[in-house]
A and B are shown apart, each in its own frame.
Chain A
Amino acid sequence: MDKEKKGWKRHGVQALWALLTNSYLAGFARGKIYQGKLKNLCVPGLNCYSCPGALGACPIGAVQAVIGSWNFKLAFYAAGFLMFVGALAGRFVCGWLCPFGLIQDLLHKIPFPEKIGTFRGDRLLRKLKYVILIVFVILLPMFLVDVLGQGAPYFCKLICPAGTLEGGIPLVLLNESMRSALGWLYAWKNVLLLITIVLSVMIYRPFCKYICPLGAVYSVFNPISVFRYRVDEKKCTGCGICAKVCGMQVDPAENANHPECIRCGACKKSCPVKAIH
């Protein structure tokens, strides 16, 4: 009961952060987006800047916007921001500050006869997010350019279900002129969103595990970030409870700062001897 309460406490933090960073309520009423100066700043989680409520810029969108611009080909601002956040907290952002992570967390609470923990090919499939980061976020916007030298944000355009859910659906619902411009791309992105939603009920955070380029960036910093887990080897009895409760299938006793760890704190709470700090 106490552990369940603490789980909801994390969801409370996630919801509060999602509300704070998407609090331009007039956008939802008018079918428009916030256009103020705050949009200079990146938010740490995956949060589409075309969400009617969004106050900040999505860091993955920002990277692609700068790489794909005609005059800049390297994105120092957004990359430096990701490095700063990652070096401080690693994938803590995924566990606590990402609105799309919260959506997946809540979807996974929907009962399903057989929730899938791991499967054959799971480990290999987790490398896919690094390929997506390199190909769709960096290489394609950099090299697949138009006559002006501008590249499209290919991850946002072809893959990101967060953009569809947070930006596409609300704007299309609220805006008649946008409804008249719908085509195959919108259909494709909705199919991807639907697949993500269904998979999220069955698998814990499938988007974070296999697709998210932002998680891929932060995962690199997990082992060396300033704030990270430490297992007291003198206290640890090797009972394996921490590994069993981990939704990301990490064994904290083996590697407490594994790149897949989203620092949700489930292992820390479950440890009967309080060996995880």
Chain B
Amino acid sequence: MSRCMGTRFRRLPGLILAVLGLVIMGFGIYRGEMAVVLEKAVNICMECVGIG
């Protein structure tokens, strides 16, 4: 029982940060960042390939 509780508490910071990550990600999507990522990703990135 106490070991189970210990495991839960040990995992708590990670769980909180994972949820926070989702919230931050959601905020980014809400303000339209996904469109910027999509635009960059669907066109050949000249910098990435070493041309631009």
A interface residues (Cβ-Cβ under 8 A, vs B): 33-37, 39-40, 42, 48-50, 54, 56-58, 61-62, 65-66, 69, 71-72, 75-88, 152-153, 156-157, 160, 163-164, 167-168, 171-172, 178, 181-183, 185-186, 188-190, 221, 224-228
Whether A81 contacts B21 in the complex (CB less than 8 A), given A152-B47, A153-B48, comes out as: yes
Residue of A nearest to B23 (CB): A80
Whether A153 contacts B25 in the complex (CB less than 8 A), given A66-B36, A72-B36, A76-B33, comes out as: no
CA distance A37 to B41 in the complex (A): 10
Chain A interface mostly: helix
- In contact, B37 and A50 (Cβ under 8 angstroms): no
Which residues of chain B are within 8 angstroms of A80 by Cβ–Cβ distance? 20-28
Further 14 A-B residue pairs, CB within 8 A, beyond A78-B33, A80-B27: A33-B43, A39-B38, A40-B41, A50-B49, A54-B41, A61-B45, A65-B41, A71-B36, A80-B25, A87-B18, A87-B21, A163-B48, A221-B17, A227-B14
Which of B22, B29, B31 is in CB contact (< 8 Å) with A84? Answer: B22
Number of B residues near A (Cβ < 8 Å) is 37
Number of A-B contacts (CB under 8 A): 167
CA distance A171 to B47 in the complex (A): 13
CA distance A160 to B48 in the complex (A): 7
Which residues of chain B are within 8 angstroms of A36 by Cβ–Cβ distance? 42
Whether A65 contacts B36 in the complex (CB less than 8 A), given A87-B18, A156-B45, comes out as: yes
Which residues of chain B are within 8 angstroms of A156 by Cβ–Cβ distance? 45, 47-48
Which residues of chain A are within 8 angstroms of B38 by Cβ–Cβ distance? 37, 39-40, 57
- In contact, A79 and B24 (Cβ under 8 angstroms): yes
Instruction: Give me 27 A-to-B residue pairs in the complex whose CB atoms sit less than 8 angstroms apart, sorted by A's number.
Output: A33-B42, A40-B34, A40-B37, A48-B48, A48-B49, A49-B40, A49-B41, A56-B41, A57-B37, A61-B40, A61-B41, A65-B37, A66-B36, A66-B37, A76-B25, A78-B33, A81-B21, A81-B25, A83-B17, A84-B21, A156-B45, A157-B48, A163-B45, A164-B49, A164-B50, A182-B50, A185-B52
